[in-house]
Amino acid sequence: MSETLTAGVVGGSGFTGGELLRLLDGHPNFEVAQTTSRSYERKTVGHVHPNLRHLDLRFTSPADLESVDVLFTATPHGVSMEHIDAFQEAADTVVDLSADFRLSEEAQYDEWYDGHVCPEYLDKSEYALPELNRENLPGAELIAAGGCNATATILGLKPLFDAEILSGDEQVVVDVKVGSSEGGAGASKASSHAERSGIVRPYAPTGHRHEAEIQEYLGLSVSFTVHAVDMVRGAAATCHVFPDDPVSKGDMWKAFRGVYGDEPFMRTVAGGGGVYRYPEPKSVAGTNYGEVGFEIDPTNRRLVVFSAIDNMMKGSAGQAVHAANIAFGLEETAGLEFTGYHPIGSP
């Protein structure tokens, strides 16, 4: 399909907004017509994102939205739910990167967030983690791209469910290490270089909001802890699983190959030789690939499942473009073919 569709990016001056603009710049079907920022109105996109200095595009106010085919909204939690009517008025399809439309029940927003101002939209939105539910996305008008830590966790554990190694009753402990870009471009005391450099800091030891997403879309309540570590990009989930019955390496390979064998963006890495024997954020930095892998610990009747993504790609902007490709019936991989660099420095 060689059709050209127009795209807008609300929140284009942020980290995921910048990644959306980068991806759309290389996309064969989407062409950016507008991007917004209140702080950088009238400034060029290259003023904020130096990798995009070649673009002839300036930020406009989100109050002056133009009509487009697809509108990506990369704004902090709470903004999209407040402006959803205007966003939907401007575009056939809205792809929201925030948590505003990911969960299906208002009560979940009361429990995990600060409530919801337009719960009537929750029924109309489609959660997007294409490897989980791509069949829901064609023609969708409101898409909620999955959260980064939830995406890493769900991608790691899904094969165990599909192969019935997990039923949903077992205890699963998940530890996620995340890079600083997860916090967005806005400054806070904790994100200053002096405070953030060199850390391995438990920032959400319990009660992380993505637990709600994992519970809803994987059907499993996980014991979930997130550490902020000294990298810019990346989310790496280590899942400790205690199945009732013994599981062999062959069972695990079968499970992972069965689910991801034909997936364009998934790679299974589990042992073998070389330096990169398990998933690592560094191997997928800047790309829409997700890596998953595992190891067996028979002594403790434990499976260890690893999963690594780039939080700003497979965990947000890449996932959003992937979902839009499916929604519009385009090639799933369009604009997302970049395979990353090796070697690279800290991602």
Ligand X SMILES: NC(=O)c1ccc[n+]([C@@H]2O[C@H](COP(=O)([O-])OP(=O)(O)OC[C@H]3O[C@@H](n4cnc5c(N)ncnc54)[C@H](OP(=O)(O)O)[C@@H]3O)[C@@H](O)[C@H]2O)c1
* DSSP class of 81: H
Interaction mask 114-153, ligand X, x per CB under 6 A:
---------------------------------xx-----
Q: How far apart are CA 201 and CA 205, in angstroms?
A: 10
Interface region with ligand X, contact rule CB under 6 A, candidates 7-15, 49-57, 256-264, 326-334: 7-15
The distance of closest approach from Cβ of residue 290 to ligand X in the complex, given in angstroms and rounded to an integer, is 14
Structure tokens given for 90: 């401007």
User: Angle 80-83-89 (CA atoms, 0-180°, nearest 5)?
Assistant: 110
**283: annotated binding-site residue?**
no
* DSSP class of 51: G
Burial class (CB in 10 A: 0-12, 13-18, 19+), 216: middle
Interface region with ligand X, contact rule CB under 6 A, candidates 34-42, 87-95, 188-196, 205-213: 34-42
Interaction mask 71-90, ligand X, x per CB under 6 A:
---xxxx-x-----------
Q: Which residues are catalytic?
A: 148
Q: Does 98 bind ligand X (CB under 6 A)?
A: yes
Nearer to ligand X by C-beta: 186 or 329? 186
Burial class (CB in 10 A: 0-12, 13-18, 19+), 265: buried
**CA-based nearest residue to 132, from 111, 146, 116:** 146
Residues 163-192 that bind ligand X (CB under 6 A): 181-182, 184-186
Greatest Cα-to-Cα distance within the chain, rounded to the nearest angstrom: 62
Residues 271-330 that bind ligand X (CB under 6 A): 311-312, 315-316
Interface region with ligand X, contact rule CB under 6 A, candidates 31-39, 167-175, 192-200, 202-210: 31-39
> Three-state SS across 205-220?
CCCCCHHHHHHHHHCC
Nearer to ligand X by C-beta: 98 or 307? 98
Contact 182, 229 (CB under 8 A): no
Contact 8, 33 (CB under 8 A): yes
Q: Does 225 bind ligand X (CB under 6 A)?
A: no
Nearer to ligand X by C-beta: 38 or 42? 38
**184: annotated binding-site residue?**
no
**133: annotated binding-site residue?**
no
Classify 161 as helix, strand or coil.
helix
**14: annotated binding-site residue?**
yes
The distance of closest approach from Cβ of residue 245 to ligand X in the complex, given in angstroms and rounded to an integer, is 35
How many amino acids of this chain bind ligand X (CB under 6 A)? 31
Nearer to ligand X by C-beta: 55 or 185? 185
**CA-based nearest residue to 148, from 190, 111, 181:** 181
Q: How far apart are CA 310 and CA 318, in angstroms?
A: 9
Annotated binding site for NADP(+): 13-16, 311
Task: List residues binding ligand X (CB under 6 A).
Answer: 10-17, 37-40, 62, 74-77, 79, 97-98, 147-148, 181-182, 184-186, 311-312, 315-316
Binding-site residues, in ranges, read: 13-16, 311
